[in-house]
Amino acid sequence: MVLAGIIFIGMGNVEWWIKIVITVVPAIMYFVILIRQEFPPNERVAAGVSYREMLQEFGIGGASLVAFLVVLQLNDFFGPGPEDYVMRYGFIAIGVLMVVAFGWYVRTLGRPILLFLCFIIMPLATTELGTDSWIQSIMHGIASDKGFDAGWVLIYTSAIMLVLRLFAGSVLHQVSPLALLVISSVLAIFGLYFLSISTGWYIFVAATLYGLGKTFFWPTTLGVVAEQTPRGGALTLNAVSGIGMLTVGMLGAPIIGAFQSNSQIEQLQASQELTLAAPKTLLTDGKVDLPLRDETIYSIIDFQTVDMEEFQGAVENTDNSQEINTLVADLKTKGTQRALAKVIIFPVIMLACYLILIFYFRTKGGYKPVVLEKN
């Protein structure tokens, strides 16, 4: 990620497909390195746990969560209209069929702790990957004022992750996995908040906290999955990761986008400078009455956006139209950055979940990995 980020920025404004092609290089390298490697049987296979027993760890609960995300993915890809009931309900039927077929085979709801970890990976993936996917656009205006590409923020946090993950083993010898995840959540909360208010080079100070926070989220959570549900073998590890990746694309990134739109509106409506500069036709009770559009994500998440075409049409004939447009652009940039303060809700949820797990394991005599005996 560090090298690709540097190469990406160095390429400048070349065709997008050329930038995508560079991902082929590490893919080929991975293939060459791994093709001749021999891997030992995993813990599940060595212990003689059957395929059905592996699936039972995931259970109907996990299948329902995956089916929900798959239905969202199908609706997003094919984009059925509001009146296209056949396709919309057809996708729901596919999801129900998946759950019914899986449930008939496994006949269990799944391990409660695994289902809880499947839930945790959703805000976790949004905090890490969702924020990373938006960070360049969020920081673009602030970074441009100082003359550097906002992509350097992502490269910097990736470099922090690279270094710290090399020493993850020694860190985990000093602190338990759940305690490390609690610390990481706290650091992510403060990092995201300071990123939402920092300017200039102070962005990198805030990014340091954020980078420290997100470094151990994903691998440590997967480590807990592996230690607590070894009967699930590779399935539980890949299922939890898959749920996280699906969540980022289908819910996490769109929700962060909705946060940005709402924050932009808040900044525009709260600006006294815009209130004084705007024409009277846009004022209601002494406040700017913005032309807003109601938007929805999958008909379950409602938010609003500013109809900039209508807004610019209302101010284009005023003497200070250029001043207003510049002010609006600056306020929207500020609002976009402030949206990171709303993203804090995700590491806060994670923090609560990890504290629940710590309390749960204390009632069991402390956190201990589950070890399978060979059958």
Give dist(CA 86, CA 278) in Å, integer: 47
330: how many CB neighbours lie within 10 A of its CB? 16
Per-residue pLDDT of the chain in tens (375 residues, 90 and over written 9): 898 888 888 888 888 888 888 889 899 999 999 999 998 888 888 888 999 999 999 999 999 999 999 998 888 888 777 678 888 889 999 999 999 999 999 999 999 999 999 999 999 999 988 888 777 777 766 666 666 777 888 899 999 999 998 888 888 788 899 999 999 999 999 999 998 988 878 888 999 999 999 999 999 999 999 999 999 988 899 999 999 999 988 888 888 888 989 898 988 888 888 888 887 777 787 778 888 888 887 767 788 888 888 888 877 777 778 888 888 888 888 888 888 899 999 999 999 999 999 999 999 999 999 988 876
Q: Work out the angle between the directed axes of helices 253-270 and 321-343 (0-180°, nearest 10).
A: 130
**For the chain, how many residues are written?**
375
pTM of the predicted protein model: 0.88
Residues 89 and 32: their CA atoms lie apart, in Å, by: 45
pLDDT at 190 (0 to 100): 95
At 375 the pLDDT is 63
Inter-residue contact 265 to 290 (CB < 8 Å) = yes
Burial (CB count <10 Å: 0-12, 13-18, 19+), residue 32: exposed
CB atoms within 10 A of CB 252: 27
CA dihedral 353, 358, 361, 365 (to 10 degrees): -170
Is residue 248 within 8 Å of 126, Cβ to Cβ?
A: yes
Question: What pLDDT does 146 receive?
Answer: 65
The pLDDT assigned to 271 comes to: 87
What per-residue confidence (pLDDT) applies to 145?
A: 65
